[in-house]
Amino acid sequence: MNEVISFQGVNFSYGKNKVLEDITFSIEKGDFAAIIGPNGGGKTTILKLILGLIHKEHGTLKVFGQDPAKNNLKIGYVPQFSVHDSSFPIEVEQVVMSGLLNSFSFGPFYNKEIKEKVKDALAKLGLSDRAKDRFGSLSGGLKQRTLIARAIVSQPQLLLLDEPVSSVDSSVEKDVFEMLNEFNKTMTIVIVSHDIGFISGFVNKLACVNRTLVMNDAKNVTFNDIDALYKGNKVGINHKCGI
């Protein structure tokens, strides 16, 4: 089965506020998909539904052919960057290690196996020499690399990222997307982003969401379409994206 994510007629509301209406789209194995749209349009809500953190009120939603809550070990997640207490005494490798807490049971080989996985994830993100650094002392770019390492340490089949470069400068942003492009060789990626500039060269699918959603082949979307999406909250991408 190549279908990783399937939404069919999904609705979701926060109380009386309808956030998503009749959402239908699919993500296939190996896709690198971006979800874009204005603030409050429902982008992060879609990720939470995929993760099983919240539940649809109507429609059908499957992740790896199952209820989303049954796929925790197959999914890596990088939430939106938040301000961390710089005095909190946790090391970079400990942050990365926390991504394995649900993947292992305690046993005689627990520590050795975890250390090898953490070491590999740190190396992939260029953080090997930062393993013992205090997480709170890192720059925004290094913190984001650490959180991505935490998300991939369990070697997930699906990687979800919510605005992963919102707190970093353009040079770091380019590095992050190049790393994600490399990870896409072994995992399906879905990223929520406001900045389609760098990502447009990497993604193959682009979902425009503002309560409703339309999925497009990324190569068919122009920068004028993207600009219109944010200026007017109503845009026709290839005459298909009516949001």
CATH number at residue 151: 3.40.50.300
* Domain range enclosing 68: 3-239
200/56 Cα distance (integer angstroms): 30
pLDDT of residue 176: 81
205 has a pLDDT exceeding 80: yes
**DSSP letters of 197-242?**
HHHTTT-SEEEEEESEEEEEEGGG--HHHHHHHHHHS---GGGT--
Structure tokens at 173: 């942003």
pLDDT of residue 95: 93
C-beta separation of 234 from 243 below 8 A: yes
**DSSP letters of 45-109?**
HHHHHHHTSS--SEEEEEETTB-GGGGGGGEEEEPPP----TT---BHHHHHHGGGTTT---STT
pLDDT of residue 105: 47
Amino acid symbol at 210: N
From 128, 127, 152, 153, select the one nearest 142 (Cα to Cα). Answer: 127
101 has a pLDDT exceeding 80: no
From 33, 59, 160, 138, select the one nearest 94 (Cα to Cα). Answer: 138
The backbone torsions φ and ψ at residue 13, rounded to the nearest 5 degrees and listed phi first, read -135, 150
Among 57-66, 70-79, 144-153, the least confident range: 70-79
Say how many domains are in the chain: 1
C-beta separation of 242 from 214 below 8 A: yes
When comparing pLDDT for 197 and 239, which is higher?
A: 197
Strand order, beta sheet including 3-14: 17-28, 3-14, 58-63
From 75, 135, 81, select the one nearest 99 (Cα to Cα). Answer: 75
231 has a pLDDT exceeding 60: no
Task: Express as a percent the part of the chain with pLDDT over 90.
Answer: 51
